């Protein structure tokens, strides 16, 4: 089954404790991205990757890091989480062309205390 998976689905952590949210897709997609969803704000892009070893900042990159060492994986790293990073996070992927459907993961609910 073609899908985007994220782990963990739920995470409660404390300020300053480094964490990684994993994202993996099995569709051989070139393009992957991370979004955060906050009430009243919709989804905003954090980082994206056009292919292996090619990443770039989205609209709200502060406090986040990513890497793309393999085509299928695109982890999101919070080196020192803060309460304002409490949010719902989505990973997404698509084949290269912009018209193509973007497939979303199931979401990760992160709470930073």
Contact call for residue 40 and another protein (CB under 8 A)? yes
Cβ count within 10 A of residue 57: 13
Q: Which residue in 48, 64, 68, 76 binds another protein (CB under 8 A)?
A: 48
In this chain, which stretch among 18-26, 61-69, 72-80, 96-104 interacts with another protein, using CB under 8 A? 96-104
Contact call for residue 88 and another protein (CB under 8 A)? yes
In this chain, which stretch among 10-18, 19-27, 56-64, 72-80 interacts with another protein, using CB under 8 A? 56-64
Contact call for residue 45 and another protein (CB under 8 A)? yes
Kindly state the DSSP code that residue 61 receives in the 8-state scheme: -
Kindly state the DSSP code that residue 18 receives in the 8-state scheme: -
SS3 category, 85: helix
């Amino acid at each position: 089954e073609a899908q985007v998976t994220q782990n963990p689905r739920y995470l409660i952590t404390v300020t300053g404790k480094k964490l990684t949210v994993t994202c993996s897709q099995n569709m051989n997609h070139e393009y992957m991205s991370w979004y955060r969803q906050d009430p009243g704000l919709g989804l905003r892009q954090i980082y994206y990757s056009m292919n292996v070893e090619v990443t770039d900042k989205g609209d709200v990159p502060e406090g986040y890091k990513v890497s793309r060492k393999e085509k299928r994986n695109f982890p999101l790293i919070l080196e020192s989480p803060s309460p304002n990073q409490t949010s719902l996070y989505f990973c997404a992927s698509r084949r290269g062309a912009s018209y193509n459907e973007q497939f979303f993961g199931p979401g990760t609910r992160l709470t930073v205390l």
